[in-house]
Amino acid sequence: MATLLEVKGLETKFFTHEGVVHAVTDVSYKLDEGETLGIVGESGSGKSVSVLSLIRLIPQPPGKITGGEVWFDGRDLLKVSDEEIRQVRGNRIAMIFQDPMTSLNPVLTIGQQITEALELHLGMDKRQARARAVELLEMVGIPDAATRLDDYPHQFSGGMRQRVMIAMGLSCNPQILIADEPTTALDVTIQAQIIDLVKELREKVGMAIIWITHDLGVVAGLANRVIVMYGGRIVEEARVHDLYHRPYHPYTLGLLHSVPRLDAAHTGRLIPIDGLPPDLIDMPPGCPFAPRCTFKIERCDVENPPLEYVSSTRRVACWRWEEMAARQDGGFRG
Amino acid sequence: MAETLLEVKDLKMYFPVTRGIVIQRKVADVKAVDGVSFTIKRGETLGLVGESGCGKSTTGRAILQLYRPTAGSVKFDGKELTTMKGEELRRQRRRMQMIFQDPYASLNPRMTVGSIIAEPLEIHKISSGKEKQERVQELLRLVGLNPYFAQRYPHEFSGGQRQRIGIARALAVNPDFIVCDEPISALDVSIQAQIVNLLQDLQQELKLTYLFIAHDLSMVRHISDRVAVMYLGKIVELTDYKTLYDEPKHPYTQALLSAVPIPDPAIEEKRQRIILQGDVPSPLNPPAGCRFHTRCPRVMDVCRHVEPEWKNVGTADREHWVACHLYD
Ligand SMILES: Nc1ncnc2c1ncn2[C@@H]1O[C@H](COP(=O)(O)OP(=O)(O)OP(=O)(O)O)[C@@H](O)[C@H]1O
Ligand SMILES: Nc1ncnc2c1ncn2[C@@H]1O[C@H](COP(=O)(O)OP(=O)(O)OP(=O)(O)O)[C@@H](O)[C@H]1O
Ligand SMILES: [Mg+2]
Ligand SMILES: [Mg+2]
């Protein structure tokens, strides 16, 4: 598959009163055509900032993209003009957020908001745009689409608003859909509806997806590849089966052990990850996970392990990844 | 078998919807909880799950008499709470506490952690002075926090630590029964396990009884002895955690279970989901007959008109309660 997007050495900081927040540090990855990439990590690990940086939606100040390149369509999105990046956003790269209410305008009808984008980006006239808007709402499963077009956002339920956001995101046939925890605020039965819808649209439209979540369950059934973030960095990347069945990074392993599974035996106790996530203002010099890691050695406190390819499809940032791999792979490697 | 600590019978909690500015006129009722019955044994954890707005928190609050129920009975340790008043009610309330979802909103930001935890001790005139200070230190240690944190303010703590402070406060008065209202929903995955383990340890150590409210079914299954599934103000199914997950009877429970993602791609690939159509109807005007009939994949004609009976379809020693016409 051809590479659609390539992020190289991305670095974003926030300059606040408390100090410099190292929100995203040295983040590099590729996204292939038609692929779904999951990004998982806990609150504050830099998931949102890393994707907002791609399309330059970082509030500036206090934020600043301080390094890196984002290659898309033969150009570096961090270097193109403001006008060019506006064309890319909402046209070639669409984004949906956790809380659709913040991205929908409460005083405009749903119809006005969808048709505006169609007229602006695709040059449709009013009638064409309206007809297409009805089509889009029908596509995302909103009943009575033609009438609902004249409703305001508050007249829709949370799940329906998220459907509207997806319809708007897809209205200009984007090549990439970035979804930032779009189901986190929804009930599980509604989450299942939305994921089902996205899978169906992915088949039909063939766009690539970056899906951000803190729920390891959600991307297990959706992503081809998963990136795990911790403390603003990527600590592991692998194909979905490898990541869940043979995690190499102690943090990934810890995350998988700390959640109860619906299908597992009632095991008595969970195995938590002790301690707290790192303070991104005062980053320790070594591995960001070291203070909480049960596999820590002395070196981890002083030297941050680089994110390295350990096979053609896997990357991991851990000094002890070989031992981890040996344990996980049942001794085949070790 | 352990004795019953809490017995809830046909509990209803309606909130009036009013119109008019000068003269408020009641125009309708939000039937937030509309006739639920269950018991909790001493030392047991009963899980209560269901989607947003189905009435879980309201059930918890009506049990604790934070809301006075519209109808029904709540017996705690053999005593009827719904008719109890004044000093007598206050004494019973001391034995029942609540832990909230939002560790940010539920702690007063202008009070030190020490005074937050000590407050219930003062309200119930349990201890004061040095004795009170010692109790606060003891409580902080009990929930895994450093006793010297007593001098600090809530904003200096992480979500998980604030939740521990909330738990310490609830434990201050030595309660028998705690309503845990989504105590971990606002926390990071890696921290959730810490708090759940703490709640389980405290239950063992202090012989606590829990009503554990959540919408994360995997977590509820993990922590509960029995689980009740709620939909639009009613409990539709109740049985032990194992039976509920192995042999769910109500189509809503089946859909809910099938919607929970499992962190295993091999399993997810093969899973057949039951995708429910549409949204939950409004509790202002719930559907006639079975409330789930508008979304039920197995709806029959009778479901639209007749409310299903709440009955035990299991055995006497393995009770399995369900309200569904499929089991008439
Ligand atoms: N506008 C801002 N000003 C200052 N700091 C910010 C700002 N936006 C984000 N940050 C900081 O950047 C870091 C990364 O935040 P980000 O929103 O990317 O996390 P996340 O992984 O998306 O978390 P969540 O799961 O909570 O959404 C955090 O420490 C956050 O506090
Ligand atoms: N004080 C109140 N006045 C009026 N209506 C209320 C009040 N409290 C709750 N309700 C309504 O009662 C219904 C049940 O609410 P409740 O908070 O018990 O749901 P829940 O199951 O706890 O939901 P969630 O999972 O979102 O916490 C909802 O429709 C809610 O809007
Ligand atoms: Mg985010
Ligand atoms: Mg609630």
Q: Does A303 touch chain B (CB under 8 A)?
A: no
- Which residues of A fall within a CB distance of 8 Å from B193? 258-259, 270-273
What's residue A330's pLDDT?
Answer: 65
As beta bridge partners, residue B31 has B14
pLDDT confidence band for A331 (50 / 70 / 90)? very low
| Overall average pLDDT of the A14-29 stretch | 95
Residue ranges of chain B whose CB lies within 8 Å of a chain A CB: 51-52, 158, 160, 188-194, 196-197, 200, 215, 217-219, 221-222, 241-242, 245, 255-269, 271, 273, 275-276, 278-280
In total, the C-beta contacts within 8 angstroms joining chain A to chain B are 128
Confidence of residue B324 (pLDDT cuts 50, 70, 90): very high
- Chain B residue whose CA is closest to A161: B279
In chain B, which residues have their Cβ closer than 8 Å to the Cβ of A261?
Answer: 218, 262-264
- How many angstroms separate the CA of residue B89 from the nearest CA in chain A? 36
DSSP-derived 3-state class of residue A202: helix
Q: Is the pTM of this model over 0.80?
A: yes
- On the question of pLDDT at B170 being above 60, the answer is yes
Question: What's the pLDDT band for A35 if we cut at 50, 70, 90?
Answer: very high
Strand ordering across the sheet containing B320-322 = B96-99, B177-181, B209-213, B45-49, B226-231, B234-240, B320-322, B311-312
Residue nearest to atom 24 of ligand 2 (CA): B52
| B276 contacts A266? CB cut-off 8 A | no
- CATH 3.40.50.300 placement within chain A: 1-92+174-334
Where do we find the tokens 């508050």? Answer: A154
Position B76 pLDDT exceeds 50: yes
The whole-angstrom distance between residue B53's C-alpha and the CA centroid of its chain comes to: 13
Q: Mean pLDDT lowest for which of B11-25, B71-85, B194-208, B292-306?
A: B11-25
Structure confidence at residue B169 as a pLDDT band (50, 70, 90): very high
- Would you state the pLDDT for residue B28? 84
CB within 8 Å: A261 and B263? yes
Among chain B residues, the shortest Cα distance to A159 is held by: B279
What's the mean pLDDT in A297-304?
96
A42/B279 CB distance under 8 A: no
Model pLDDT, residue A92: 92
Mutate to test the interface with B, among A187, A230, A273, A293 (most CBs of B within 10 A): A187
Mean pLDDT of all residues in A138-167:
87
pLDDT > 60? residue A333? no
- Cβ separation of A221 and B271 shorter than 8 Å? yes
pLDDT, mean over chain A: 91
B-contacting residues of A 118-157, CB under 8 Å?
Answer: 143, 157
CB contact under 8 A, B267 and A192: no
pLDDT of residue A334: 31
**Cα A172 to ligand 1 centre (Å):** 29
Asked if A276 lies within 8 A of B160 by C-beta distance, the reply is yes
Cβ contacts (< 8 Å) between A244 and chain B: which residues? Answer: 263-266
More confident residue, A121 or A224: A224
Pick the CATH number of A1-92+174-334 from 3.10.180.10, 3.40.190.10, 3.20.20.140, 3.40.50.300: 3.40.50.300
Whether the CB of A42 is below 8 Å from some CB of chain B: the reply is: yes
Percent of chain B past pLDDT 70, that is, above it, reads: 100
- pLDDT for A267: 65
Residue B230 pLDDT class (50, 70, 90 cuts): very high
* Residue A332 pLDDT grade (very low, low, confident, very high; cuts 50, 70, 90): very low
CB under 6 Å to ligand 1: residues? Answer: A 14, 16, 21, 23, 41, 43-49, 59, 62-63, 214, 280
The distance of A118 to chain B (nearest Cα, Å) reads: 27
Closest C-alpha to ligand 1, atom 7: A14
CA distance B279 to chain A (A): 8
